[in-house]
Amino acid sequence: MGEHQKARQQLRGFINFMLYIVMILFITFLLIRFVGQRTEVVGYSMYPTLDNGDQLIVEKISYRFTDPKRFDIIVFPYRYEDKTYYVKRIIGLPGEKIRIDEAGNIYINGEILEEHYGREVIQDPGIAATEITLGNDEYFVMGDNRNDSKDSRDPSVGPIHRRELIGRVWLRLYPFSRFGLMKGR
């Protein structure tokens, strides 16, 4: 084999390798953009369900085909700070009326919400002290650590629009001792 043919084979091999790398990068981009992404929990607003430093996988596909459900744990961007994302639990669904009374009870359409996620009695009902009616594409979200959570009760967060939902928390990767699928209910 001549030097010219050897050089052409090496060039062809290099081009094939580069195409392979570009293809891997493109597939990775598609997966991160449309299928799932890694997220790290910063803070204690979802304690004890999630803890500071937990590494999560957020799946982005299911909400393209189904509606978010009550108690799903979701990720959405904070409106007033770039690259800041919140992890919260869906409490209220579109069209529902939400109110939190002075005793810390959550009411959905006038009935007390039966749930076991709240870590303690809610001390500050925030904007939900008076009844809120959610719009057709709005969700009321709260952290499980109710008295240490900036959530829909805070006017700077408020109800979350469906288009703002990045996805549903699907899997806890780390710490390894708590590795596993995340269930909404």
Which position among 60, 88, 149, 152 bears the catalytic label?
88
CA 37 vs CA 28, 111, 120, 128, 183: distances in Å: 10, 36, 31, 32, 18
Cite the beta strand spans of 34-166 per DSSP E.
36-40, 55-59, 73-77, 85-92, 97-100, 106-108, 111-112, 132-133, 138-142, 160-161
Which position among 45, 60, 149, 152 bears the catalytic label?
45
CA 67 vs CA 1, 8, 139: distances in Å: 63, 55, 11
- For the chain, the distance separating the N- and C-terminal CA atoms, rounded to the nearest angstrom, is 67
Compute the distance between CA of residue 93 and CA of residue 30 in angstroms, rounded to an integer. 30
User: Is 45 one of the catalytic residues?
Assistant: yes
- Provide the annotated active-site residues: 45, 88
